[in-house]
Amino acid sequence: MAPSTKKHGAGNACIIPGGFAVLSLKFSAESDTQHKLYVKEHRVRVEAKTHRPLDKTLFVLNVPPYCSQAVVSQIFSRFGAVVSVELSDRPGTASVPEIKLSNIFKPAEKQGFKVAYIVFRKAKSIQLAKSHPHNFPLVISTEKQPVTTGLQKWAEQYRKSIILPEKLQETVDAFMTDYDLRKEEKEKKQEEEAEEQKEDEEGWVKVTRGNKGTKARPHSEAANQKSLQKEIRKKKRKELLNFYTWQHRNTQKEHIADLRKKFEEDKQRISLLRAQRKFRPY
C-alpha cells in the first residue's frame, strides 16, 4: 500500500451513528471510485479471554470480496504492526479453529462482502485508524504489492488448484502414517484399561474411569446381566401400547370383563357375610 503524504490530523475523521468511523479505499492510485469501510474498537465482554484482545482489536465492516487476509493486513499496517487478521461472513463470537486435515483440499469460500477482526500489537493503533481522515483514501493495489482481480485472479486460482500427483501422494502417505499411529495408541490404551479391570484371584474387580464422557463399570458376569436386564426393561417401557384402534378396543373389553368378574365375586362375598351375621338364638 502506498504511504500517504498527508498526516492524520490534516483532515477530519467521519463518525457515523453506532460509533463507526468511515475509512475510504481506492483500488489503485488511478481509480476514481472509492469504497467505504466502517471501523470501530471491538468491545465484547464475552470474548475477554479469546484471541481478540478488547483494547487491541479493530472491528471492520464492508470488506470487499477481493481483499484477502494478507491484503487487509497490508492496508491497516500503516496504523501499526498487525498481529492477526480474521475474516468472517458475519459478525459473531470467536470460533475455535478447526483441525485442518489437509492443506490441499479446502472448502469453497463464499464470495461477498465480509467483516474483519484486526488485532494490533499496540493499543494506540486503534485510535490512529479511527482518526484517519475519510477524505484521504487508502490505496489497495500498488506497483510493489499488486492485488489481482478478474480473469487474472481466476487464472491464478486455477493454477494453484492443480495438484501434482507426487505432492498428493506425499500428503496421503503422511496422513495415513499419522492415522495408524493414533489408532495404535488408542488400541494400546484400551488394552491397558482392560488389563486393569480384570478380576484378581479373590474375585475383586478394579473399576477405573475411562475416556471423558464414558461411565466406568466392572466387567463381570453379574454386572453384565444386571445391565442387560435394565436395558430390556427400558426397551419395554418405550414400546408403543394401544397404537392401533382395534388394540384399544380389545383392551377396553378386557378391562370391562375384569370389572364384571370382580363385581360378581364381591356380590358373593357380601351374601356370605350377611348369612354369617344372621340372628340365631338357639
Where along the chain do its domains lie? 8-151, 231-276
Share of the chain above pLDDT 90, in %: 18
Q: What CATH fold (topology level) applies to the domain 8-151?
A: Alpha-Beta Plaits (3.30.70)
Distance CA 39, CA 13 (A): 11
- pLDDT by residue (tens digit) across 102-158? 666 666 667 788 899 999 999 899 999 989 888 888 888 877 878 877 788 788 878
Q: How confident is the model at residue 199, as a pLDDT?
A: 54
> Mind listing the pLDDT tens digit for each residue in 103-118?
666 666 677 888 999 9
Name the phi and psi angles at 88, rounded to 5: -145, 155
CB 127 within 8 A of CB 21: no
